[in-house]
């Protein structure tokens, strides 16, 4: 066991972890942030995506000890002040069925839209190509993002 | 629980190269170097690797360097694929590497995955392979006994096997700059965008003066240059009959297998098509025409 400290959604948190504890488990089971989901566990599906120092990463492939002293933002942090504009567009367009992939999608788009605020549809598709939705919900998701971009 | 890691190990984070060398000398094969972890963590979860110690190199400043000195580009061991993609030098002067880097998995993976990790994993399908082979990159290896440089063409010994010795680590990769006009293309066939490994990868570099460099991945035990195809093409202008001859020759140079992602026959068929498209795109790009870099050719 070792103690690590990091900034989670703007607040300093300290927690005891084993070297083989994954960031995803520590966030969900030790720190009670259930927004990153466990999907494939191998970095393929994107449901566990969080921001590490502002960059999207797979929390199922990162050891908790690696983020000691770093900054982590989850969906909970992104929508801290209530639903974001993008989330409202997700609601407007029913951009989810089971909702399981939605947190990873929003986190991924958070980084992407900061870098590229006026993307075209192809760029949006490329950006979320690492986030799998098994309800075949891509069309409403892309529609929501394009509507959001257009009205921003 | 998220596919927890049941295997236990110690985690070490050296602050400088001396500490890293000390740890490697001490633990040798019991240790694994952790950088992005996008491959290693999955391997540990699956039980294919069970190191006693993980050495996280992300605290070592020198290994984060990405430097161009006019003659060559140095890519430190913990430089990520997205750092390569975001680099103007890579985009302008090493477009084949840029295009190959863009094809690696997804943004979130590329934010962690490193080029050096990619070559150390030495999987047959490594996307960085063809570009590094075509550019004649050198791999800088370090250990307590000093430093040695190995041409990337001699670096891979087999699937997941490299010339790396037990107390050595890869410090970085050095890619010479080609100071002549050139055009290139990395053609990657995957089952879907976003995450999949290459079923076939072909990297072409055409340098002014009719010099052709052709490399492939995922169609043999290691990524390698297609020397016979290069010999055929060198000194000649590209035309349809030459392309047909090259397509016949590439079949002699590759030895694909059937696995979960594609059959041997499909890979052979596609390698020919991809060679054709890659050659045409690279020559067009050399002449200032053709598809933009990053545009999918297949």
Q: Do B1 and A49 touch (CB under 8 A)?
A: no
CB-CB neighbors (< 8 A) of B5 in chain A: 20-22
Of B2, B37, B193, the CB nearest to A48: B2
Residues in chain A: 152
Residue corresponding to tokens 């107390």: B167
- For the stretch A91-97, contacts whose Cβ atoms lie closer than 8 Å and that sit 24 or more positions apart, written own/partner, are A92/A144, A92/A147, A93/A140, A93/A141, A93/A143, A93/A144, A93/A147, A94/A140, A95/A137, A95/A140, A95/A141, A95/A143, A95/A144, A96/A135, A96/A137, A96/A140, A96/A141, A97/A135, A97/A137
For B18, the token pair is 């001396």
d(CA B71, CA B137): 12
CB-CB neighbors (< 8 A) of B11 in chain A: 19, 63, 65
Of A41, A48, A56, the CB nearest to B107: A56
**B13, B155, B190, B223, B244 from B119: Cα distances, Å:** 22, 9, 19, 10, 32
- Check if the beta carbon of residue B25 is closer than 8 Å to that of residue B34: no
Q: Do A129 and B5 touch (CB under 8 A)?
A: no
Residue of A nearest to B109 (CA): A57
**A151, B71, B84, B215 from B89: Cα distances, Å:** 35, 12, 9, 22
pLDDT averaged over chain B? 96
| Pairing relationship of beta strands B211-217 and B200-207 according to DSSP bridges | antiparallel
d(CA B201, CA B81): 17
Residue B214's φ and ψ, nearest 5 degrees, are -130, 130
B136 to chain A nearest CA, in Å?
30
Q: What is the ipTM of this complex?
A: 0.96
3 state SS of B267: helix
Q: Do B56 and A66 touch (CB under 8 A)?
A: yes
Is 80 exceeded by the pLDDT of residue B193?
no
**What is the per-residue pLDDT across B54-65, written as a single tens digit (0 to 9) for each?**
999 999 999 999
Residue of A nearest to B102 (CA): A126
CB-CB neighbors (< 8 A) of A56 in chain B: 107-108, 111
Instruction: Report which of residues B274 and B192 the model is more confident about.
Output: B274
d(CA A72, CA B221): 39
Is 90 exceeded by the pLDDT of residue A152?
no
Rg (CA), chain B: 19
- Check if the beta carbon of residue A64 is closer than 8 Å to that of residue A32: no
DSSP letters of A60-125?
TSSBGGGGTT-EEE-HHHHTTTS--HHHHHHHHTT--SS-SSHHHHHHHHHHHHHH-SS--HHHHH
Q: Do A130 and B106 touch (CB under 8 A)?
A: yes
What does the pLDDT read at residue B4?
87
Chains A and B: how many Cβ contacts under 8 Å?
101
Q: Do B3 and A49 touch (CB under 8 A)?
A: no
A60 to chain B nearest CA, in Å?
7
Q: Do B2 and A65 touch (CB under 8 A)?
A: no
What is the reported pTM? 0.96
Instruction: Give residues 71 to 100 of B whose Cβ lies within 8 Å of A.
Output: 82
Q: Among residues of chain B, what percentage have pLDDT more than 90?
A: 94
Residue corresponding to tokens 């026959």: B265
Of B38, B41, B107, the CB nearest to A108: B107
Q: Do B112 and A18 touch (CB under 8 A)?
A: no
- Check if the beta carbon of residue B106 is closer than 8 Å to that of residue B194: yes
Interface of A with B (CB under 8 A): 18-22, 24-25, 28-29, 38, 40-44, 46, 48-49, 52, 55-58, 60-63, 65-66, 108, 111-112, 125-127, 129-132
**What is the per-residue pLDDT across B98-152, written as a single tens digit (0 to 9) for each?**
999 999 999 999 999 999 999 999 999 999 999 999 999 999 999 999 999 999 9
**What is the per-residue pLDDT across A10-30, written as a single tens digit (0 to 9) for each?**
999 999 999 999 999 999 999
Q: Do A29 and B1 touch (CB under 8 A)?
A: yes
What does the pLDDT read at residue B195?
65
Q: Do A55 and B111 touch (CB under 8 A)?
A: yes
């Amino acid at each position: 066991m070792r103690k690590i400290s990091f900034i989670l959604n703007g607040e300093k948190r300290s927690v005891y972890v084993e070297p083989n504890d994954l960031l995803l488990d520590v966030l969900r089971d030790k720190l009670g942030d259930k927004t990153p989901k466990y999907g494939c566990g191998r970095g393929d599906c994107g449901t566990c995506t969080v921001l590490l120092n502002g960059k999207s990463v797979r929390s199922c492939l990162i050891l908790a000890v690696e983020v000691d002293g770093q900054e982590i933002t989850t969906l909970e942090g992104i929508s801290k002040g209530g639903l974001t504009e993008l989330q409202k567009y997700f609601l407007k367009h029913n951009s989810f069925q089971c909702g399981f992939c939605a947190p990873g999608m929003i986190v991924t788009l958070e980084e992407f839209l900061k870098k590229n605020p006026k993307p075209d549809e192809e760029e949006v598709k490329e950006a979320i190509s690492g986030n799998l939705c098994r309800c075949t919900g891509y069309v409403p998701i892309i529609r929501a993002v394009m509507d959001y971009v257009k009205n921003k | 629980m998220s596919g927890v890691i049941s295997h236990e190990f110690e985690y070490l984070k050296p602050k400088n190269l001396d500490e890293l060398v000390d740890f490697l000398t001490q633990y040798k094969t019991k240790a694994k170097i952790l950088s992005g972890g996008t491959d290693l963590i999955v391997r540990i979860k699956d039980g294919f690797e069970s190191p006693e110690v993980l050495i996280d190199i992300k605290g070592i400043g020198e290994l984060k360097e990405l430097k161009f000195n006019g003659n060559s580009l140095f890519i430190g061991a913990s430089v990520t694929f997205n750092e390569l993609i975001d680099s103007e030098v890579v985009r302008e002067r090493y477009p084949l590497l840029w295009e190959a880097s863009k094809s690696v998995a997804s943004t979130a993976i590329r934010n962690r995955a490193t080029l050096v990790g990619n070559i150390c994993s030495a999987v047959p399908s490594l996307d960085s392979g063809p570009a590094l082979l075509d550019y004649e990159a050198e791999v800088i290896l370090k250990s307590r006994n000093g430093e040695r440089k190995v041409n990337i063409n001699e670096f891979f010994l087999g699937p997941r096997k490299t010339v790396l010795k037990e107390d050595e680590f890869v410090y970085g990769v050095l890619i010479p700059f080609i100071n002549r006009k050139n055009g290139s293309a990395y053609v990657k066939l995957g089952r879907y965008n976003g995450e999949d490994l290459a079923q076939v990868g072909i990297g072409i570099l055409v340098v002014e003066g009719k010099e052709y460099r052709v490399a492939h991945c995922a169609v043999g035990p290691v990524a390698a240059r297609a020397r016979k195809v290069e010999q055929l093409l060198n000194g000649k202008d590209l035309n349809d009959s030459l392309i047909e001859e090259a397509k016949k020759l590439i079949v002699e140079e590759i030895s694909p297998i059937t696995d979960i992602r594609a059959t041997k026959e499909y890979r052979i068929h596609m390698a020919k098509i991809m060679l054709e498209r890659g050659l045409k795109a690279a020559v067009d790009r050399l002449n200032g025409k053709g598809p933009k870099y990053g545009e999918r050719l297949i």
